[in-house]
Amino acid sequence: MLAEERNPLKVLSLGSRNVAVIVNLETGRDKGSEDALDRLTHLVSGDLAQVNQLILQHMQSDVQLIPQLAGHIIAAGGKRLRPLLTLASARMCGYHGPRAAGLAACVEFIHTATLLHDDVVDESALRRGEASANVLWGNKASVLVGDFLFSRAFQLMVQDGSLRVLEILSGASAVIAEGEVLQLMTSNDTTTTEQAYLEVIKGKTAALFAAACEVGAVVADRPKVEQQALDTFGLNLGIAFQLIDDALDYSARQEALGKTVGDDFREGKITLPVILAYLRGDAEERGFWQRTLEKVEQDEADLRHAIQLMERHGTLKDTVNRAAHYGAIARDALGIFPDNAEKRALIDVVDFCIQRGF
């Protein structure tokens, strides 16, 4: 292994401005997740290097604040999971050309833009343990740079030249926005149903997972059935991923992953662990959820009590079990593809996403 590959810190130069983007590739990984992601990253390492170069190239602007703020959020973006899915899906389908890297960069820009907007909407102060962009530069700058990254994503789609790719990724962008608005409508509403919650996470998270995978089959010019299979794989992987994220927000493991426990609770977000606890609780317990999440009247002891109620009713365990169900659907969707290293790596990523909850 090269020394650079062993080094958990990658420093990416932003051209003439010499703004360094430092990405800690080790933070928040346990051994199992590190193995799964490292295997996937190793398989597509050459393509991933092209993705990083495209990201750096297309986040450039004569307006200096744009690459500074964009570099900050991209560095805090984490595992590059979505672009990795695009690269691995394309290679699994037999494609080894340059288009996959461009579309993977496009997917990362869409994801990063949504992170900037989400942090403003949620009034988040931290992103993976670091100060969020809206705290450092303000809400207006964060929203506008998010718009800039969305625009860059669409430029990359146009450069690819495929109307089908444009249809998939632009459609996903619209669904993501719908999912975020739907989440805003259900926030602080303890009567939110599990079905409504699933519609939220399908939009805000799973839609981009699905698009990231499906375009891999499109660039490989694979038949419709394989494109649909990768759409199904990505959609269910995305649902499982978000279910585990929502369970982890109330788990001690969250601290080990470098994140703050209880952010969703403090923001009054209605996620599946809360929905199940509300449905299974008595009148007194429902009154607690209404006070803390609908009225957002909270004291220091409330988060601990919320977790105790979830443990009493087994809602965190059941949320993880539901994630495992969607993970199984994702794995089965890959059954039509011949066995190869990329397929095995994608299956391992499903297992990684679920195992984060244990």
Structure tokens at 207: 């839609």
Distance CA 193, CA 198 (A): 9
Core vs surface per residue 164-178: b (16+ CB within 10 A) or e: ebeebbeebbebbbb
- What average pLDDT does range 12-23 have in this prediction? 33
Structure tokens at 156: 């990359």
% pLDDT > 70, the chain: 86
Cβ–Cβ < 8 Å for 284, 200: no
Query: What is the pLDDT confidence band of residue 27, given thresholds at 50, 70 and 90?
Result: very low
Q: Tens digits of per-residue pLDDT, 317-350? A: 999 999 999 999 999 999 999 999 999 999 999 9
Task: Name the domain count of the chain.
Answer: 1
Higher-scoring residue by pLDDT: 5, 180? 180
Distance CA 272, CA 325 (A): 14
CATH code (residue 302): 1.10.600.10
Distance CA 220, CA 90 (A): 6
Give the pLDDT of residue 123. 75
Give the pLDDT of residue 253. 63
Beta strands in the chain (DSSP E): 9-13, 20-24, 126-127, 130-131
**Is the pLDDT confidence value at 68 over 80?**
yes
User: Where is average pLDDT lowest: 2-16, 147-161, 214-228, 253-267?
Assistant: 2-16
Higher-scoring residue by pLDDT: 91, 267? 91
Q: Domain range spanning residue 22?
A: 3-355
Amino acid at 283: A
Give the pLDDT of residue 75. 79
Give the pLDDT of residue 35. 82
Distance CA 168, CA 181 (A): 20
Residue 219 CA neighbour count, 13 Å, CB half? 29
Distance CA 211, CA 209 (A): 6
For residue 207, which of 241, 157, 184, 159 has the smallest C-alpha distance?
241
Beta partners for residue 131, in sequence order:
126
> For residue 345, what is the enclosing H or E element?
helix 341-355
* CA dihedral sign, ordered 110, 319, 198, 352: positive
DSSP 8-class letter at 337: S
- First-to-last alpha carbon distance for the chain, in angstroms, is 30
183: alpha, beta or left? (left if phi > 0; alpha if psi -120 to 50): alpha
Q: Tens digits of per-residue pLDDT, 267-319? A: 899 999 999 999 999 999 999 999 999 999 999 999 999 999 999 999 999 99
CB neighbour class for 61 (10 Å; exposed up to 12, middle 13-18, buried from 19): middle
Cβ–Cβ contacts within 10 Å for residue 155, how many?
13
